[in-house]
Structures are given as structure tokens and as C-alpha cells.
Amino acid sequence: MDEIDRTIIRELQYGFPITDSPFAEVASRLGLSEAELLDRITRLREDNTLTRFGPMYQIERLGGAFSLAAMSVPAEAFDQIAEIVNQLPEIAHNYERNHELNMWFVIATESVEGVSEVVDKLEQLTGYKVFNMPKLEEYYVGLFFDL
Amino acid sequence: MTNITTSSDELTPPQEIALKSLIEDGLPLVTHPYQQLAETIGSSESAVIQTIRSWLDDGLIKRWGIVVKHHSVGYTHNAMVVWDVPNHQVDEIGERIKASGLVSLCYRRPRRLPHWPYNLFCMIHGKNREAVMAQIERLINDIGLQHLSRDVLFSYKQYKQCGGHFLRRSVTPFSTSGHRTQHG
């Protein structure tokens, strides 16, 4: 990733035009040719620097649900339990964190009932209690990078 | 009726469903991406453009464009900062944290007593641990949160990160399998 790539990401993280020639529009703002911009975005997408190029949906509006959940897992069992948890396709992130509750993961499901089904399934598969902490209120979502 | 629209410039319900699913796979990386989407679902380009704009306006789409992998742009550290806020103050403090511009995410979640007394969750991302700690200090001082009980949970390892797919389709809903990278 070079300085031009960083400039492109910095520009695009705040949104993308919804017009007939959006790449040409962005390219002219950045002083690039449209072809170069497209090549670079394609490469950044292929090497997974950009994990997606499209919509971030308000998941509840599509009938789905997100939740954050945590477990307290002994250190010696951690890798094995992480493997079991991550096998479920509904687990979107999983981090080890420094707390008695040391495994934190996001559950993403296509239906609201799906979350508690995943929680039950995880408790059965692992034998550990799952603390489910669904969001009650969203104050802010805006992950912008200072590149 | 003050709005005059022609039927050819609105998507049918099946076309809307098809478009929602198509764009979740990503915008075509071509000169006229909305035209290409329109051809795929058999509509006009202007209907696609109007529809996506309306989804953004009404909040079905929260953000439109790129999603960046934290690690690849140098944001290798993240902390989950959690607070025990009296119930009647959560909304007010949540709004003040939002206005500070110092966090990437801020949610109210339920406590799980006695194991977990915290009900306000923030995420802070940074290029190193010191930067994240400095940001947390600023947040505490700027908003005046010294009196609240809190905890800071750094991540040691990331075991899995992948973008979610939410619309039903025939293939597996998640494209990235679980992987493990050293983290923080």
C-alpha cells in the first residue's frame, strides 16, 4: 500500500457517489485517471485491504440481529473452545481479551430468534456459559481511520 | 399526489430484493456500476440510483462504500472500554461520548450481574497501545467520566474477522473461514 492507496481510502471512507460515473467523479477529485482508480480499488479489494465495497446495512431493518457475547474460558482450553465457537457461521468476530470474561465475539444472524439459538448451541457444544449482551441503544457507529 | 413518477423508473419489489442482495456482494468495479446493476436486474440505471439513495436516506443503509480492514491500515490495537453508568444517565453520557469524536463505536448493553456490571460499551482503535491509552485518557478528562467505574479490555488475539452477509442466498453466508492472527 502506497501513499496514493492511502489517499484513496481516506477519501472513500466517508462515502461513495451514487451517480452515473462515480469512479470518474472520485478520480477527478483525487487527480487520478479513472482507470488507475479502478485498478487500485480492484487490487485493494482482492488483497482484502478493503473487506467490502458496498452497503453497510442496518441489520435490524433486514430482519436480522447482531449481538455481542462473552465467555469465561480457562487459558488451557482457550484455543480448543475458540475453534468450536468459530466453526459456527454466525460468529463474525472473536477476540481474546484481558478480563475474567476473556472470549468476546459478535453473533450475526438472519433472524432475531437466531441469536438465542446460537447462544444455546454454543453452551451445549462448549459446556461454558455464554453471556449475551445485545445492544439496547446505539449512540455511535463511525469507524474512520486517520491514515 | 404531489410526486409524479413513471412506473418504469421505480423498481418492482422483486427487483428491490435482487438489488439488495447483489450490492451486498459488492458494487461492480466498472465505469458505470449502477448501470451494470440495472442491467442485471432488468431496470433503468436511474431507478437503481434513486433506490440506493432512498435506502441511504431512510437508514436501511448506514454507510455506502468501502469497509477497511483495520490491520491493513495500521490500526492493529483496539480496546473495549466499558462503564457502569447509572441507568438514568446512560443516554446523556452516550450522546456526549458520541459528540467527542474519540470513539469508533458506542452502545448501551445489558449488565450481567454479578459477573459484569458495565452497561455502556465503547470501542477505541489505534496504531499502538499507547495511542489507544492516550485516547481513553482524553475521553475520560474531556467528558468528565472520572467518577464512573470502568474497565479497559485490550484484545490479545483476533481469532476471526469477516464481514457478515445477511441476505439469504444459496451459498454459505460467510465467505471467510475462521483464521487466527496475532493481534495486539
pLDDT tens digits, B59-110: 999 899 998 888 888 888 899 999 999 999 999 999 999 999 899 899 999 9
Which residue of chain B comes nearest to A42, CA vs CA?
A: B29
Which residues of A fall within a CB distance of 8 Å from B55? 55
Residue B159: the pLDDT is 66
Residue B139: the pLDDT is 96
Residue B167: pLDDT band by 50, 70, 90 thresholds?
Answer: low
- Minimum-distance CB partner of B53 among A18, A95, A143: A18
Burial level of A120, CB count in 10 A (0-12/13-18/19+)?
A: exposed
Contact B20 A104 (CB under 8 A): no
The parts of chain A modelled with pLDDT lower than 50 are none
Q: Which of A53, A79, A83, A84 to mutate: most B Cβ within 10 Å?
A: A53
Residue B2: pLDDT band by 50, 70, 90 thresholds?
Answer: very low
Share above pLDDT 70 across residues of chain A, in percent, rounded to a whole number:
98
Residue A14: the pLDDT is 85
Report DSSP state, residue B177.
P
- CA–CA distances in Å: residue A69 to residues A64, A104, B128, B165: 16, 6, 25, 19
Residue B166: the pLDDT is 53
Residue B177: the pLDDT is 33
pLDDT in tens, B11-55: 999 999 999 999 999 999 999 999 999 999 999 999 999 999 999
Measured distance CA(B91)–CA(B151) in Å, rounded:
19
Q: Which residue has the cell 481510502?
A: A9
Q: Which of residues 96-155 of B touch A (CB under 8 A)?
A: 97-98, 103-110, 112, 115-116, 121, 123, 125, 151, 153-155
Assign domain A59-133 to a CATH class.
Answer: alpha beta
Q: What is the dihedral of CA B56, B59, B62, B65, to 10 degrees?
A: -10
Q: How many CB pairs under 8 A join A and B?
A: 233
- Where do the domains of chain A lie? 3-46, 59-133
Residue B75: the pLDDT is 86
Q: By the 8 A CB rule, do A93 and B125 touch? A: no
pLDDT in tens, B115-156: 999 999 999 999 899 999 999 999 999 999 999 999 999 987
Residue B3: the pLDDT is 44
Q: Which residue has the cell 482508480?
A: A37
Q: What is the ipTM of this complex?
A: 0.85
Measured distance CA(A72)–CA(A103) in Å, rounded:
6
Residue B69: the pLDDT is 83
C-alpha cell at B174: 460467510
Residue B6: the pLDDT is 45
Which residues of B fall within a CB distance of 8 Å from A45? 26, 29
Q: How far is B1 from chain A (nearest CA, A)?
A: 27
